[in-house]
Structure 1
Amino acid sequence: MKIFFATPPISMEDLYGSLSGAGSRLPSLGILYLAAITRKNGFQTALADASALSLTKLDLLNYIEIERPDVLGLTATTFSIFHAADFAKAVKENYPNMTIIIGGSHVTATPKETMERFPVFDIAVIGEGEETIIDLLVALNSKAPLHNILGIIFRHDKDIISTGRRQFIQDLDKLPYPAWDLLKGFPNKYLPAPFKVRKYPAVSLVTSRGCPNKCIFCDRSVFGSSCHAFSAEYVIGMIRHLVVQYGIREFSFEDDTFITFKKRLFAICQGIIDLGINISWTCLGRVNSVDGETLELMRRAGCWQISFGIESGAQEILNVIHKNITLAQIQRAVDLCREAGILTKGFFIVGHPKETHETLSKTLELAIRLPLDDISVTMLTPFPGTEIYKRASEFGEFESDWSKMNLLNIVFIPYGLTHKDLDDYQRKISKRFYFRPRIIFNYLKRLVANPAMTKHVFLAARAFIKKYGIHR
């Protein structure tokens, strides 16, 4: 039996809108882990990351024609689920007997609704997929019933059958490394967003799953509120593999909790130092999880930037969204990073529940006052699987249109504000932050230090100016 994994064919313009020139083209780790485990278990496996490579529907259909798989495995977010369904429909028209499986965060959060809305999907995998996909392929290969396979929803006659959730994988170290070797053109065709890296080629890694925090805008449907992680030894082995096999020089750790568990973090940092290789890396972090000793070790191990979820400059908003941090902790974390020689990026969100002109002004003020080196300003989006999705009508007007949920479109407007208010503040925060001598000078320094970024940066700058203009 042969399975072909793919992300939906979707253009950079669809993903990032007018900021498409600043978008990331890094591969999906989800399908890479699935491809690795199916291959390890003896199934013929191929894949294409259509989203990362901006492949068209016709391009991806050509892949299907060449590979002729028995099963197509698609993964999709809320925003890309329509693209996945559209492609699946085209596949069914050409290959009516092919089994199509859908997985990912969206179908996990809305399993029955997704299957009812898109009859082109035969089976949905709910939650972590590595163990489920093997049981599923074994059953499909032997034409056995699917009723006893945990973690799926499937069609049986006219019914949609749910088999219940599967427990989380307790020992992640038993998973093989992602199947990067199956990616066409890896690593050079897969680029991160401009200024997100210092060295090329670069990859993103996720070394743990789940998050114990309870922010109302985060989807915990796939991995839950518990956290399970790959061991430090596994992570170091994966880094060594990528450096030796593919010449990777930079890593972006995308874990929600990479810094939180200090013992593992210290072991990873020391392991990188002991490898004696010249790599650099960035990560995500919470402002209440950093201290001077930790940051010093991270810097020695090659960390040059930490991205913090700051979200708002108003303490009352941080409380409403259950962020469980304070403005004082935000200031302290950014200051400590600056002292340690680590750059910082702040993630801000516009349009929180109970947001007002006053709280938005506080966010603008904080973004300018903090000694941040970079920011990202997105719109609050009540994704399925989040607390705010269930409670959105309590706090504002919510347009529950999956096709618009990409963090850039405005789908939620807090009571007392307008669409124009949110758009104006998002633009104002971005423009006021970036169009300052310190920020422009620092970006120019980074560009001079890494001229390989020139083309990518030019496209990003053109997209930014097109969206925000150059006048205040």
Structure 2
Amino acid sequence: MILNPEKIRRALFLLPGPYVYEDRCQSYIGKGSFFRYREPVEEMYAAGVLGDLGVTCRIVHAAPERLSKGGIEKIIGAFAPDMVVISSTYPGHVQDLAWAEKIRKILPRAMIITRGGHMGFIDRQDLLKRFSALDGVIRGETEFTLRDFFQSNDKRIPSGFTLRHGDAFEETPDPGLDNDITALPFPARRLLNHRLYRSPVTARPMATISANRGCCHRCVFCPAHKVSGAAVRLRSPESLVREIRECREHWGIRDFFMRGETFTASRTWLKDLCRELKKQAPGVRWLCNARADALDSELAGLMKSAGLCGVSMGAESPDADTLALIRKDLCFEDVRKAVAACRSHGIMTMVYFLMGFLWETREDIVCNIAKAGTLKSDVTEFFFPYPLPGAELYETAKALGLINDRAPLPWSQQAPVFIPQGLSARELMQLRARARRNPAQNIRAARAVLRQATGAREIAAVMTHGFFTAANALLRA
């Protein structure tokens, strides 16, 4: 293994499976899934940091590139990196990390490590024992952990590493979080094929912009406050707009996803961003996530004027008792008002619900599905709660013996881990399929997408690449 950063001149980042490889969102993307592939932001930032330090990088995003096993191996052999970083998700890590053995056969001396949002909360030494071709695990925010490794001036390994030394292991302390995310170099977007990542609303190539990090909320099903910190770290609006302008001028990208665990956390910051967008980047269109209790008509109107075309909100449940139990700190009426505010300004709404908590009955679930329909959101999607490491729900699932770190259920929120008394996994899947097979809902979604289209060419693109493909998947579910 090459452990000296001075000898690592080429690094390859491999995303091998059909997942969203983000620290918080580790969703499975398969047949019938609403989710689409997004730019791999963590890997792009890490490649940007290493590029500034003189390391030549490559990103291999196997699933959207439709690469076969042989195709991936050919790329690795031809590029011949000194270091390979395998991205992994918790639900897919068994399949992801099987690649370590394949890579070791191609690159006997390379440093092979893995990253992922779950790595700070599982038994890393057990992981290294199970995957003997792996040299180490990194945790924390990948770009900062790798930056510290490459900038270390002595032989000590910086925070955030678990390394194998023969039959022994070395584990350094947990890394802290860097507050100045504005100072990071722009992501290495030049390493990607931009046509692979399209807006679900406009079907045009879409870039993902990291707007802020951190979440002050404590929802039991979400690890965001552990993975990204409980304090919200805001990137300057000027930096965001510079990156957007670079995307537009260098690659012709005009559609964006503003990524942030709590994008609407600061009203002042968001207003400043909208003003900068209107002044410096008119004509762009963007999507974002938002908390429903932070959205009103004034803010929705301002965001619309700055290019917002679609917003996603996690309602989780219409039931007040369930919202209290999962510590969502939200009420269903907040969601109703936010949807109405967005619709009044022509903003497409996408609202997500969770079903299948242990205390729910069949009658509860059927009632919640009916109540969700009363929102008349353009898109209403249902998922199962999945116990990601770092979330309180993970500890609950472990205590009940419902999940095994060595073989977690690989379909993430698409299949149930928790089975309420009186129901079976099959019945839960049938209830979800029935909720998603809603003709009125899918017609509403199709109309909302068509309203966003600006001409015949864009309508044709939406029909073949955009949300219509997802709508068809919902109808087939």
TM-score by length of 2: 0.88
Equivalent residues of 1:85, 1:120 under 8 A apart? no
Q: In 2, Cα distance between the equivalents of 1:34 and 1:99? A: 16
Q: In 2, Cα distance between the equivalents of 1:222 and 1:450? A: 39
Q: In 1, Cα distance between the equivalents of 2:171 and 2:411? A: 26
**How do 1:161-172 and structure 2 match up within 5 A?**
161-172=170-181
Residue 6 to residue 57, structure 1, CA distance change in 2 (3 Å): farther
Residue 64 to residue 394, structure 1, CA distance change in 2 (3 Å): closer
Q: Residue in 2 aligned with 1:84?
A: 96
Q: Residue in 1 aligned with 2:232?
A: 227
TM-score by length of 1: 0.89
Cα RMSD of the aligned pairs, angstroms, is: 2.5
Equivalent residues of 1:199, 1:280 under 8 A apart? no
Equivalent residues of 1:313, 1:362 under 8 A apart? no
SS in 2 for 1:452: helix
SS in 2 for 1:109: coil
Which sections of structure 2, spanning at least 5 residues, go unmatched? 1-7, 20-26
Q: Residue in 1 aligned with 2:433?
A: 427
Structure 1 residue 217 displacement after superposition: 0.7
Q: Residue in 1 aligned with 2:83?
A: 71
Structure 1 residue 61 displacement after superposition: 1.4
Q: Once the two structures are superposed, what CA deviation does each residue of 1:256-294 show, in whole Å capped at 9, x if it has no partner?
A: 211121111111110000015211111101111112221
Amino acid at match of 1:421: E
**How do 1:152-163 and structure 2 match up within 5 A?**
152-163=161-172
Structure 1 residue 425 displacement after superposition: 1.9
Q: Please tell me whether residue 50 in structure 1 is matched to residue 62 in structure 2.
A: yes
Structure 1 residue 90 displacement after superposition: 0.2
Q: Please tell me whether residue 128 in structure 1 is matched to residue 141 in structure 2.
A: yes
Equivalent residues of 1:368, 1:432 under 8 A apart? no
Structure 1 residue 393 displacement after superposition: 6.2
Residue 371 to residue 396, structure 1, CA distance change in 2 (3 Å): farther
**How do 1:151-300 and structure 2 match up within 5 A?**
151-183=160-192, 186-192=193-199, 196-198=200-202, 200-220=204-224, 221-300=226-305
Q: Please tell me whether residue 407 in structure 1 is matched to residue 413 in structure 2.
A: yes
Q: In 2, Cα distance between the equivalents of 1:446 and 1:75? A: 34
Amino acid at match of 2:213: R
Amino acid at match of 2:204: Y
Structure 1 residue 431 displacement after superposition: 1.5
Structure 1 residue 342 displacement after superposition: 1.8
2:31 to 18, 23, 47: 18
Residue 44 to residue 444, structure 1, CA distance change in 2 (3 Å): closer
Residue 363 to residue 413, structure 1, CA distance change in 2 (3 Å): same
Q: Please tell me whether residue 102 in structure 1 is matched to residue 86 in structure 2.
A: no
Equivalent residues of 1:345, 1:375 under 8 A apart? yes
SS in 2 for 1:413: coil
Q: Residue in 1 aligned with 2:322?
A: 317
Equivalent residues of 2:15, 2:60 under 8 A apart? no
Which sections of structure 1, spanning at least 5 residues, go unmatched? 468-472
Q: In 2, Cα distance between the equivalents of 1:175 and 1:373? A: 36
Q: Once the two structures are superposed, what CA deviation does each residue of 1:10-38 show, in whole Å capped at 9, x if it has no partner?
A: 258x9433326x65232210100000000
Q: Once the two structures are superposed, what CA deviation does each residue of 1:214-251 show, in whole Å capped at 9, x if it has no partner?
A: 11111234213222121111111111111111111111
Q: Residue in 2 aligned with 1:368?
A: 373
Amino acid at match of 2:13: A
Amino acid at match of 2:165: H
Q: Please tell me whether residue 418 in structure 1 is matched to residue 424 in structure 2.
A: yes
Q: Once the two structures are superposed, what CA deviation does each residue of 1:302-339 show, in whole Å capped at 9, x if it has no partner?
A: 11211110111211111111100012212111122222
Q: In 1, Cα distance between the equivalents of 2:289 and 2:469? A: 25
Residue 434 to residue 198, structure 1, CA distance change in 2 (3 Å): same
Q: In 2, Cα distance between the equivalents of 1:2 and 1:403? A: 37
Structure 1 residue 138 displacement after superposition: 5.2
SS in 2 for 1:325: coil
Q: Residue in 1 aligned with 2:3?
A: none
Q: Residue in 2 aligned with 1:3?
A: 10
Q: Residue in 2 aligned with 1:470?
A: none
Equivalent residues of 1:8, 1:74 under 8 A apart? yes
Residue 3 to residue 321, structure 1, CA distance change in 2 (3 Å): farther
Q: Please tell me whether residue 385 in structure 1 is matched to residue 398 in structure 2.
A: no
Structure 1 residue 349 displacement after superposition: 1.2
**Seq. identity, %:** 25
Equivalent residues of 1:313, 1:365 under 8 A apart? no
SS in 1 for 2:175: coil
Residue 190 to residue 444, structure 1, CA distance change in 2 (3 Å): closer
Amino acid at match of 1:269: C
SS in 2 for 1:333: helix
Equivalent residues of 1:53, 1:190 under 8 A apart? no
Residue 377 to residue 433, structure 1, CA distance change in 2 (3 Å): farther
Q: Once the two structures are superposed, what CA deviation does each residue of 1:326-371 show, in whole Å capped at 9, x if it has no partner?
A: 1221211112222233221101111124222233123212221002
Residue 418 to residue 371, structure 1, CA distance change in 2 (3 Å): same
Count residues with an aligned counterpart: 457
Q: Residue in 1 aligned with 2:53?
A: 41
Q: Once the two structures are superposed, what CA deviation does each residue of 1:426-446 show, in whole Å capped at 9, x if it has no partner?
A: 112112365565445445656
Amino acid at match of 2:316: E
Equivalent residues of 1:317, 1:359 under 8 A apart? no
Amino acid at match of 2:248: V
Amino acid at match of 1:216: V
